Structure 1
Amino acid sequence: MHKVRSRSLALLQKKGVARTPAPSNNLVKVHPLLSIPPVERLPVELLVEIFMLCISLSDYPPLINKSAEPPISLCCVCKSWQKVASGLPGLWTAAFVNLETTSLGGRKKFPQLLNRWFSRSNRLPLSFKFTSENHHHEKVMETFTACVTPFVNRFCHLDVDVLNFVCSIPVDLQLSAPQPTPMQNTYPDISWSTLQFPQLESAIIQNNVDVHIYLETPLFPFAPRLQRLRMDDLSFIGGTPLQLILPWSQLTHLILVNLLESHSWLQLFPMCPNLQHGLFDV
């Protein structure tokens, strides 16, 4: 904060906004800028630094439906702040959708809100967090898919907390193929498995991922840049790591929170030749 204050003072002095001593003849000459409301006096360069600092200090991406949080709150101060914030792409590259904070009717608006939000990001890489503990699986997945699908080519980070958002499906659907097959595209309930994430570098999966025997579980079949992955509730129910479809060989960072059996580790580690950092419960 000291750095920001120093930078603020320097910019204010450069613009001639900083206070100066009154003339000795007691005739105070008011600088023209002082007639402007205080919130509108700050130089654009300083506003940009302050706005970006507001975002960087937060532990979570901003909720897109909360006007009391930045960047939306910054747009509500005055027209000049709104203009600066709306035109600053870096403020709009991260978003958080939490279905638990909204009524069933309000959830239908999330895809449209998210589209408007990310439209200000000027094609920069995106970070997205989605949370729902609701057991209306079909409705949750409908909203989740509508939010994710339009931006799959731009996500660099995903944080997903949704029950059973990845379904296990027959092996003959060939989810490990380099491109979605015609059979995949016609099979119900595998919309996630056909999504391609060309820019995705890191992901957090907070809810359950269950790998069943004789079935493939398509977590990230198409993610050529994925290197960092955290899974909080991974279970092999008769299945093996080979049936969990993701680019294991690319991973450099892996966190598995829950306990796995020893034979699963013996299969998993050889699949991660580039692993550099890991956190495991063994």
Structure 2
Amino acid sequence: MSTSTRPELGRAADGISSPSTAQRGLEVQRAPNTSQGLLDPPDEAVQTISQVAVSQLEQNDIAHDLELDLPIRRLPVELLIAIFTDAIVTSDFFGLIRRAGRPFAIACTCRQWRDIVLHKPDLWSMIDYEIKELSTLEDEERVSRSLRLHIERSSRLPLDVCIDLRSKPSSLNGQFWSTLSTLFRRARVFQFTTTVNVHSTLTSQVLSQHAPYLSRLAFSEGDYRFAGKQVLELSLDAPCLRPIECEGAPVQLFSGPYPSVRSARLHSDLLPSIFFNLFKWLPNLVDLDIYWYDGPTRSHATLELEYLETLIIGGRNSFFYLDLARLFSFPSLHKASIKFGFDNQPNTIDPRAVTAFIRSALHTVRSLELDLDAGPYCDVSSADVSSAIVDGLKSCTHLEHLTLHVYAGDAAFAALSTPHADGAWLCPRLRSVSAYIGRSTLDSDIFIKETVSLAAARRATGLTKMEIILKEYSANYGRLLRWQDRLNGILLSPEL
């Protein structure tokens, strides 16, 4: 890269290794006067001005000498590189969030550090920018020039890119989009966050490019509950892509399948036919985390993910229809968290669908969290939902760790503490139980007795831990502590 393309960094430090500035001042002071008779100042004034100049130059040299004598200046280059790398890379967000502008800031410090940074491509391969203004062509040129410096100085290394776009570019075919496209083609990680509608341009000019190094793709447009229904249509050419994450915009996948993808996190306000595309285009998923708002769907084909091990599903105001709840197949599933809630409006949840979903999708799990709150406006009661959960748990013979969010009329704890007529237990391998409760449940003697009975009955079958977690503030917190101590005492006491 030519010197002319480099930003003006570290100018103040360029004179550190130059000849003594104090010596140059003395030479000026002693230089013969070649302009006799041409407005010569008095000798005293000349002497005073020279002394002031020399004094200032000497102070600058002393400051430079002290700066060079700092302990950090004596560190070997290898250690400085490690320090600079740690200063730029943070541990947040899986270690992929960077500190914007750090290479420039380090290079401005002194000539030594500038030389190190300019010859260390790794430091330029980490790109994290929050872009607040792109309303003019000058803004686009300024931002694009800065991004191109990363492209040039990172050599041919794959890039970790994090862009937070707060302003819509002034041009649909300008420098910003072409530069971003280059970044994407070189990216190992590409994380794009925006508060403006650039979906169409982003997908057509950037995300559709061949990205041979891309292993992680993340897109966010803020809170999915308030986002519009602008669909992010992805046609990717990324053979190494592993996780894909999207929050806000519904994701419609094309040109699949994508067999390399192992993890998907999709939090959206809309998942109709898009939901079924997950099973079609991402057949090798191991981890799936989805959330949608008001998005019921129907299907007549089995929805199978053969290798899925972890499942997180959350939603508002809509559970699966019965015919869909029966069609899931996750033969390798080990861990699941299912949470559905309902706003203060008329709604419905079919208890039969709850039972069918647990039987079809969750029967292989070893760790399960269930939070199904029917709410006051639902046409079925929490007791009906709880009974449906118990019917579903009958198929979960491998379950070891159960977490339940408890609402009025909960039937699960009584069922877990009572053996069947043949002596068999519900969830026979159960090792731990956690219960999230509200204030009303804390004040219920009935539920306390049910948990105590469960601890006493299942201690002999392998139950070793019970935990009660209060989800909201209560002045009666001492009651919770005494309750937990009682359960611990039962489970930890030696068997008779």
**1:102: Cα distance to partner?**
7.0
Q: Residue 250 of structure 1 contacts residue 274 of structure 1 at CA under 8 Å; is this kept in 2?
A: yes
Aligned partner of 1:277 in structure 2 is 287
What value does the CA root-mean-square deviation take over the aligned residues? 3.2
State how far apart, in whole Å, the 1-side matches of 2:124 and 2:158 are. Answer: 10
1:255 and 2:265 aligned = yes
Pairing partner for 2:220 from 200, 206, 218: 206
Aligned partner of 1:222 in structure 2 is 237
1:197 and 2:230 aligned = no
CA distances 1:85-130 after superposition (whole Å, capped 9, x unpaired): 2211111101123221677433322222211222221211101122
Relative distance call for 1:272 and 1:150 in structure 2 (3 A) is closer
State how far apart, in whole Å, the 1-side matches of 2:272 and 2:183 are. Answer: 38
Larger radius of gyration: 2
1:37 and 2:69 aligned = yes
1:97 and 2:134 aligned = no
* 1:117 counterpart letter in structure 2: H
Relative distance call for 1:149 and 1:55 in structure 2 (3 A) is same
Q: Residue 89 of structure 2 contacts residue 98 of structure 2 at CA under 8 Å; is this kept in 1?
A: no
Aligned partner of 1:61 in structure 2 is 98
Structure number with the bigger relative contact order (C-alpha 8 A, sep ≥ 6) is 1
Superposed, 1:50-89 pairs within 5 Å as: 50-57=83-90, 59=92, 60-64=97-101, 70-89=102-121
Gaps of 5+ in 2: 1-64, 222-227, 292-313, 315-496
Q: Residue 250 of structure 2 contacts residue 274 of structure 2 at CA under 8 Å; is this kept in 1?
A: no
Relative distance call for 1:109 and 1:247 in structure 2 (3 A) is farther
Superposed, 1:86-235 pairs within 5 Å as: 86-100=118-132, 104=136, 105-134=138-167, 136=168, 138-139=170-171, 142-162=174-194, 163-167=196-200, 190-192=204-206, 194-207=208-221, 210-211=230-231, 218-235=233-250
State how far apart, in whole Å, the 2-side matches of 1:144 and 1:209 are. Answer: 25
Gaps of 5+ in 1: 1-32, 65-69, 169-188, 212-216
CA distances 1:134-172 after superposition (whole Å, capped 9, x unpaired): 2x455377354122233443211111124343329xxxx
How many percent identity over aligned positions?
22
* DSSP-derived class of the 1:223 partner: coil
State how far apart, in whole Å, the 1-side matches of 2:135 and 2:170 are. Answer: 16
Equivalent residue pairs, number: 214
Q: TM-score, normalised by structure 2?
A: 0.38
Relative distance call for 1:55 and 1:246 in structure 2 (3 A) is farther
Relative distance call for 1:219 and 1:271 in structure 2 (3 A) is closer
Q: Residue 108 of structure 1 contacts residue 143 of structure 1 at CA under 8 Å; is this kept in 2?
A: yes
CA distances 1:167-186 after superposition (whole Å, capped 9, x unpaired): 29xxxxxxxxxxxxxxxxxx
State how far apart, in whole Å, the 1-side matches of 2:135 and 2:200 are. Answer: 26
State how far apart, in whole Å, the 1-side matches of 2:104 and 2:75 are. Answer: 19
CA distances 1:207-232 after superposition (whole Å, capped 9, x unpaired): 27834xxxxx6424322221211010
Relative distance call for 1:107 and 1:263 in structure 2 (3 A) is closer
Relative distance call for 1:251 and 1:44 in structure 2 (3 A) is same
* 2:147 counterpart letter in structure 1: L
Relative distance call for 1:196 and 1:35 in structure 2 (3 A) is closer
Relative distance call for 1:139 and 1:99 in structure 2 (3 A) is farther
Q: Residue 262 of structure 2 contacts residue 285 of structure 2 at CA under 8 Å; is this kept in 1?
A: yes
Pairing partner for 1:265 from 263, 268, 275: 275
